[in-house]
């Protein structure tokens, strides 16, 4: 059984995962609008992944007999200066999610809520993978020019990460 504080924390994480889904969908729209089809497809698929992260938490909360809450979600930014800025922002956002997951893990341990602690291990591993993924995309901008033909190649490379 979850404590009231843990229910509140987990529900906040549900909202944060939904915000991530909206953020990446908005970024996908910006990319599509700017002729960056590979990045648009990649970010749209990543938005779906974030919805799945939120659903997994939602299911866990309900399975414990608590009530999962779908709270208000802020509208994400819709304007970006460049593809590099989009990717920098995804990486910053993933680091924020990692901090939030770490705080949840810490709270579960302090409460001796080992079930939630165990459940959250999946998110710990996932955040490691997500940070690595976005960092590897960011690396593309340090070895190529973010314009012209190189921008086309970067966009194609980002799109190719869909299948990996």
Say which residues have a Cβ less than 8 Å from residue 124's Cβ, sequence separation at least 6: 101, 102, 105
Residue with smaller CB distance to ligand OFO, 52 or 78: 52
Residue closest to ligand OFO, measured at CB: 53
Q: To which residue do tokens 């906040």 refer?
A: 12
Residue with smaller CB distance to ligand OFO, 30 or 123: 123
DSSP character string of the chain: ---HHHHHHHHHHHHHHHHHHHHHHHHHHHHHHTT-HHHHHHHHHHHHHHHHHHHHHHHHHHHTT--------PPPP---S-HHHHHHHHHHHHHHHHHHHHHHHHHHHHTT-HHHHHHHHHHHHHHHHHHHHHHHHHHHHHHS-SSHHHHHHHHHHHHHGGG-
Residue with smaller CB distance to ligand OFO, 70 or 152: 70
From the CB of 128, what's the least distance to ligand OFO, in Å? 11
Q: Are 86 and 27 in contact (CB under 8 A)?
A: yes
From the CB of 149, what's the least distance to ligand OFO, in Å? 30
From the CB of 105, what's the least distance to ligand OFO, in Å? 13
From the CB of 123, what's the least distance to ligand OFO, in Å? 6
Residue with smaller CB distance to ligand OFO, 32 or 126: 126
From the CB of 39, what's the least distance to ligand OFO, in Å? 16
**Chain positions contacting ligand OFO, by CB under 6 A:** 17, 20, 50, 53, 94, 97, 123, 126, 130
Residue with smaller CB distance to ligand OFO, 55 or 150: 55
């Amino acid at each position: 059984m979850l404590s009231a504080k843990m229910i509140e924390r987990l529900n906040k994480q549900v909202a944060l995962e939904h915000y991530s889904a909206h953020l990446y969908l908005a970024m996908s729209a910006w990319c599509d609008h700017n002729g960056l089809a590979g990045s648009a497809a990649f970010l749209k698929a990543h938005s779906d992944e974030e919805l799945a992260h939120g659903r997994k938490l939602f299911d866990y909360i309900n399975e414990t007999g608590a009530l999962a809450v779908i709270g208000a979600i802020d509208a994400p930014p819709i304007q970006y200066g460049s593809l590099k800025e989009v990717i920098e922002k995804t990486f910053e956002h993933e680091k924020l999610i990692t901090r939030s997951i770490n705080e949840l893990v810490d709270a579960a341990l302090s409460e001796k809520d080992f079930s939630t602690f165990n459940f959250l291990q999946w998110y710990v591993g996932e955040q490691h993978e997500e940070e690595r993924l976005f960092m590897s995309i960011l690396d593309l901008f340090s070895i190529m020019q973010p314009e012209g033909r190189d921008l086309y190649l970067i966009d194609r490379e980002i799109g190719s990460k869909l299948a990996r």
